[in-house]
Amino acid sequence: MTIELYAQRIIERCEILARYSEEPERLTRRFATPAMQQVNALVAEWMHAATMAVRQDQAGNIIGRYAALDSAGKRPQTLLLGSHLDTVRDAGKYDGILGVILALALVERLHEQGTHLPFALEVIGFADEEGMRYHHPFIGSTALAGTFALPALQLLDSDGITMASALQEFGGDPEHIQAARRDPSDLLGYCEIHIEQGPVLETEQLPVGIVTAITGQNLCEVSFRGRAGHAGTVPMSNRQDALCAAASFVLAAEQGARAIPGMVATIGQLQVQPGASNVIPGTVTLSLDLRHPDDSEREQFYQQLHKEAQKIASERQMQLEWHTCSSEQTVACSPQLTQLLTSAVKQQGYRALLLPSGAGHDAAIMAELTEICMLFVRCYKGISHHPDEAVNTADISETITVMENFLQLLAHHTQEERHDEPV
């Protein structure tokens, strides 16, 4: 079967999986739901057909193992490939799913060719990355990486069902979820294929890009407290309009971020109190999301914006509240694996575009367990978390080849390492 047919099959399978949803007219598939059960079952079937050994682990992750080439009694190492099979509400078909199905196709290609690699391949479909059901993301990958926080098992979903009981019902094992942790000494690394979720590859006219790091993030909640008043009776000079202060801050964040290459600043939420057309805003509360792969550069800009907010509040005689919600450090990809991915892309005749991932991924969690690398696939207009999410078949073909190059380079690399070992 040609690579093009494999690419078509990958798209078809993503479309098939998109039918398994909790909601009739749109794709919503949360952790440990019947829709996830159906998807795991179908993926398991496809894995079996490719002669993989399939199991669902304690956290509900579906895992297929394709054996290594017989390595003369030596215990072979394992390369993990994967992404997640859960979705956000009203999701697209490819975010997460593509990484699992494309990895599976790589195994199918090996099986079709009757080939094995000098290392085992495991394809993982993580049970939860988006965190929609329990407002707690990365259930699947934290379990595998051994960083799952046990108290989360007591979280309740909107129907009052604990995570523990949902997982039990799903066929997982909440009491032994820690046993899902993998032994890092068995692993060569973890490689994740994912749609870019941004417009860079489209702009650069490239089918794939190589991720250098999963960008760190500062998230905070900012409130400007001025004074509400009647829209008709308070002269402009007597106002302490919290929305005007917030507007100055929004533009300062935009202008500041524009001046720093690679920086993104987003105010995605903004609430006006009291919020009536004839009342001057008394309080405005907004979210600030800052991302940049260089932790110190980002932290410095974060402090700069805090000072800017203080200045705006003081000039307008208002109170400022600045509450840091979270501060995530940047997670670097493995230089070695990323170098191999770079060579694999160049082998296919493409410029190797290195870019950070502004979005969070299972790979960032897996980095606590093993070496990671990530390959981004161009997506339509950079759209994600939306039904319009799309990839094109030609790009999927290119991705398959790039990944096959990568696997060959890694095989060569591990063989060399083996030869270098003292006999």
Residues binding a copy of itself (CB under 8 A) = 196-200, 203, 215, 217, 219, 228-238, 241, 243-244, 246-248, 250-251, 254, 257-258, 262-270, 272, 274-281, 287, 289, 291, 357-360, 382-386
**Closest to a copy of itself by CB, 157 or 289:** 289
Write the CB contacts of 103 (distance below 8 Å, at least 6 apart in sequence): 81, 82, 83, 121, 123, 193
**CB-count burial class (<10 Å; 0-12, 13-18, 19+) for 203:** exposed
Give the angle subtended at the CA of 137 by the CAs of 136 and 141, to the nearest 5°.
130
**Closest to a copy of itself by CB, 3 or 252:** 252
Q: Are strands 187-195 and 372-377 parallel, antiparallel or unpaired?
A: parallel
Among 294, 299, 412, residue whose Cα is nearest residue 347: 412
**Closest to a copy of itself by CB, 105 or 195:** 195
Cβ at position 248, least distance to a copy of itself in Å? 7
Rg of the chain on CA atoms, in Å: 24
**Closest to a copy of itself by CB, 258 or 418:** 258
Distances from the Cα of 26 to the Cα of 23, 39, 93, 201, 383, angstroms:
6, 16, 10, 27, 16
Cβ at position 314, least distance to a copy of itself in Å? 17
Cβ at position 342, least distance to a copy of itself in Å? 21
**Closest to a copy of itself by CB, 110 or 333:** 333
Identify the bridge partners of residue 190 per DSSP, sorted by sequence position. 80, 372
Distances from the Cα of 123 to the Cα of 5, 99, 282, 376, 403, angstroms:
20, 9, 53, 17, 14
Q: Are strands 229-230 and 279-280 parallel, antiparallel or unpaired?
A: antiparallel
Cβ at position 219, least distance to a copy of itself in Å? 6
Cβ at position 263, least distance to a copy of itself in Å? 7
**Closest to a copy of itself by CB, 58 or 330:** 330
Q: What residue type is 215 in one-letter code?
A: T
Cβ at position 325, least distance to a copy of itself in Å? 8
Cβ at position 88, least distance to a copy of itself in Å? 10
**Closest to a copy of itself by CB, 64 or 281:** 281
